[in-house]
Amino acid sequence: MERIRIGPEQRLFVLTGAGVSAESGLKTFRDQDGLWEGSRVEDVATPEAWARDAARVWRFYSQRRREARKAEPNAAHRALADMEQALGERFFLCTQNVDDLHERAGSRRLVHMHGELFASRCEFSGAGMGAFACSRGPFQDDSLYETEAAIARCACGGRIRPHIVWFGEMPLKMNRIEREIAQSTTMLVVGTSGAVYPAANFVHWAGAHVRRIYIGPEEPGNADAFSEIVLGKAGEVLPGLVDVD
Ligand code: APR
């Protein structure tokens, strides 16, 4: 496809999903028969799963920590870091991914709306805890927890949980994301099936004047909302795609 020109008054908003890490060897979710790394989502990625069997949840995320440690950023992550270098504050990246491959490629102006694999927090911290909330925030953590007894405890007595937005929980940093979308003139959505909300709606939040481009090997569920669809792998399409004025 021809290069996308970003003029001096223009701003680029990028949304990435699991597909951007596929070429690094990390599996995407929805192409696995409803299973996610051999587990049902309801057994490992919901508040109910945590209440029922926290050790099982931690075994799942411990395994994902192991896999992410072994993975390396690919050409797509690097291309997005290059775009940020060229655009500075006119660039913003929102990822649904919890791996740290964007950071390791050099991205800095990014938010993880679904949390971070290498961070943990007290189970009583965060939104929805009311007056009983624990004030300890998320912290960097690459430990592996395999049994209930091994799960670390907060000073308040709560168990340490993954800093991940599970199904049924509120995505993070939504105010910042909405602000960035409102200011953008080009939106690039890469490697996401367009099935999980609110991220699947971002393309609708962009104004009609915004150029809305999807990149991935197959059409996403919300394909109709884009002004352009580029079928191809992120690592092949993204390098050199953006032309900055
Ligand atoms: N380059 C670009 N896209 C790719 C590539 C690639 N090399 N390989 C696969 N894809 C695309 C697939 O075509 C698919 O549309 O990546 C998409 C992956 O879709 P999902 O597995 O549904 O992942 P995602 O959309 O990121 O899931 C959203 O769901 O489970 C939750 O919280 C989790 O953040 C996740 C959210």
CB–CB of 163/145 below 8 Å? no
CA distance 27 to 6: 32
> Which CATH topology does 27-70+120-164 take?
SIR2/SIRT2 'Small Domain' (3.30.1600)
Length of the chain measured in residues: 245
Q: Which of 77, 102, 112, 114 is catalytic?
A: 114
CA of 191 to the centre of ligand 1 (A): 5
Percent of the chain clearing pLDDT 90 (strictly above): 87
Residue 223 has pLDDT above 80, yes or no: yes
Residue 130 has pLDDT above 80, yes or no: no
Mean pLDDT across the chain, nearest whole number?
94
Domain residues of the chain, as ranges?
Answer: 1-26+72-114+171-245, 27-70+120-164
CA distance 85 to 89: 9
Is ligand 1 within 6 A of the CB of residue 16? no
- Give the amino acid at 164: I
pLDDT digits (tens, 9 = 90+) for 169-200: 999 999 999 999 999 999 999 999 999 999 99
Q: Which two tokens stand for residue 245?
A: 């004025």
pLDDT digits (tens, 9 = 90+) for 65-79: 999 999 999 999 999
Mean pLDDT on 154-179: 96
Residue 35 has pLDDT above 80, yes or no: no
Q: What is the pTM of this model?
A: 0.96
Residue 129 has pLDDT above 90, yes or no: no
CA distance 144 to 52: 19
CA of 177 to the centre of ligand 1 (A): 19
Architecture of domain 1-26+72-114+171-245: 3-Layer(aba) Sandwich (3.40)
Euclidean distance between the first and the last CA atom of the chain, given in angstroms as a whole number: 18
CB–CB of 13/184 below 8 Å? yes
